[in-house]
């Protein structure tokens, strides 16, 4: 006999907000990877060079981070245990991509300190979602 613990309202709100956040992340990935001219329209030559010189592994990490984040949100809404692993993979690839963006590029010199605000927000949200999903699993909300 198995008992199912129903998640509280906050779980559903967080899951839906996380889904919307990760949909925006996938859109950002698609636009910056396949429609780069939209991102670089009106950009300076230095900004163009920054965006176009990103290595392929960075693009792969960015894609994995956003797609696994989206899949994690979908499985979270389905209340599946795999959610934790997917958020974990997303977090690892977020850290790889964002740390590279902040520390290994000239983004601070080209765009300025404001260029690291969004990467730090992405890292914080990724950490939160990973640990929140672990807590949800421990509470029996994910099966």
Question: Alpha-carbon Rg of the chain, whole angstroms?
Answer: 17
Whole-number pLDDT of residue 38? 79
| 68-86 confidence digits (pLDDT tens) | 999 999 999 999 999 999 9
Reported as a single tens digit per residue, the pLDDT across 9-66 is 999 999 999 999 999 999 999 998 888 787 778 888 888 888 888 999 999 999 999 9
Helices (H), the chain: 9-34, 36-40, 45-52, 56-77, 82-103, 107-110, 117-138
pLDDT above 80 for 2: no
Instruction: Name the nearest CA neighbour of 122 among 69, 51, 44, 48.
Output: 69
- Rounded to two decimals, the pTM is 0.91
At 86-127, the pLDDT tens digits run 999 999 999 999 999 999 999 999 999 999 999 999 999 999
């Amino acid at each position: 006999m198995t008992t199912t613990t129903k998640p509280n309202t906050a779980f559903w709100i967080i899951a839906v907000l996380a889904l919307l956040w990760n949909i925006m992340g996938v859109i950002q990935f698609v636009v910056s990877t396949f429609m780069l001219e939209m991102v670089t329209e009106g950009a300076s030559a230095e900004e163009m060079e920054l965006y176009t010189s990103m290595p392929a592994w960075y693009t792969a990490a960015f894609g994995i981070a956003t797609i696994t984040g989206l899949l994690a949100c979908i499985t979270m809404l389905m209340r599946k245990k795999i959610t934790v692993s997917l958020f974990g993979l997303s977090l690892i690839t977020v850290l790889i991509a964002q740390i590279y963006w902040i520390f290994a590029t000239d983004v601070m010199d080209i765009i300025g300190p404001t260029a690291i605000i969004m990467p730090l927000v992405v890292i914080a949200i990724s950490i939160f979602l990973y640990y929140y999903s672990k807590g949800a699993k421990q509470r029996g909300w994910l099966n």
